[in-house]
Every structure is written in structure tokens, then in C-alpha cells.
Amino acid sequence: MSDLRDLYQQVILDHYRSPRNFGVLDPATACAEGHNPLCGDKIKIYLRMDGDRVDGATFEGVGCAISTASASLMTEAVRGLERPQADALIASFLALMTGDGNGAAAVDLGKLEVLSGVKDYPVRIKCATLAWHALRAALEGGDSEAVTTE
């Protein structure tokens, strides 16, 4: 498990220091904000849909290493997916992070799996899932705010 923990830290730090797809997407077809009051993370997700396909995804905001890295990894993972694939990816990632492993096997999460290391720190799970709740909100209609409070 120490290998996974090292990988987890490397990937988190890499994406925190050099976030991918960081900035406003112009033009965007949908956006949604996520706010995690427990940590102070605030992230805004921008999407550009081409029909049912995610043509582009970016994010901006301020957050801790985990919320930033998760958003960065998310924007990479979701780009190019059809809407049903994106929904399945969100569901699988949230299942992975919240401990219900049943949905996690549905989609190969690739390097997103390193974020499961966050499960060792329960208060950080909301940091890791923030961008994903915001992505779901953007896919479902945009211009809404996802708050991880429960």
C-alpha cells in the first residue's frame, strides 16, 4: 500500500502545482460552482458540449491541494466523453470515494483511483468530490451551485 500512497501524493502534488485545464473556458455552454464550506474550497467548472459530447472542460477557483488536483484530473478525464459515459464516470468516482464499491467497477477510473487514498482522511473526501458534484450540476443544466454539505 505504500506504493499507492506514494503515487497518490505524487499525482496530487503534480496536479496541484500544475493544474491542467485551469481557467475560464470561452465559449462555454454550461458552468457550475462548487463550494466546500468545511475547507473553504471554491471551484467553478466550465463545460463546452458538442451535442451530447463533452468537447472541453476547465475549472478555476481556489482550493486545497486535494480539491485542486481532483478538479484537474476530472477535467482531463471527462473531455471527449459522451454524456452517458460522463455520468457513469461521475457515479463511479463518487462510489469509489464514498466507500460504496458497487458502482466503482463500472468504469475504469485509471489514475483517478489514486484519489481513493483520500479515504484515509474522511474530512478530505468532500474536497475530492467537490469538482465532481459541480460537474454533475453543469451537465444537468449549469448555472447552479453544488455545495458539499451532507
Q: Is residue 70 a contact residue for Zn ion (CB under 5 A)?
A: no
Size of residue set near Zn ion by CB under 5 A: 5
What SS3 state is found at 104?
Answer: helix
**What is the smallest separation between the CB atom of 29 and Zn ion, expressed in angstroms?**
27
Count of alpha carbons within 13 angstroms of residue 60, beta-carbon side: 6
* Of 54 and 127, CB closest to Zn ion: 127
Sign of the torsion formed by the C-alpha atoms of 26, 28, 126 and 6: negative
Residues 6+ apart with CB under 8 A from 111: 11, 73
**What is the smallest separation between the CB atom of 85 and Zn ion, expressed in angstroms?**
27
Residues 6+ apart with CB under 8 A from 78: 54, 57, 86, 89, 135
Q: Which of 58, 67, 68, 75 binds Zn ion (CB under 5 A)?
A: 67
Please tell me the distance from the alpha carbon of residue 33 to that of residue 148, in angstroms, as a whole number. 11
For 55-118, where are the alpha helices, taking DSSP H only? 65-78, 83-98
**What is the smallest separation between the CB atom of 72 and Zn ion, expressed in angstroms?**
14
**What is the pattern of x (binds Zn ion, CB under 5 A) and - over residues 4-43?**
-----------------------------------x-x--
**What is the pattern of x (binds Zn ion, CB under 5 A) and - over residues 36-65?**
---x-x----------------------x-
**What is the pattern of x (binds Zn ion, CB under 5 A) and - over residues 84-123?**
----------------------------------------
CB count within 10 Å of CB 78 equals 23
* Of 39 and 88, CB closest to Zn ion: 39
Residues making contact with Zn ion (CB under 5 A): 39, 41, 64, 67, 127
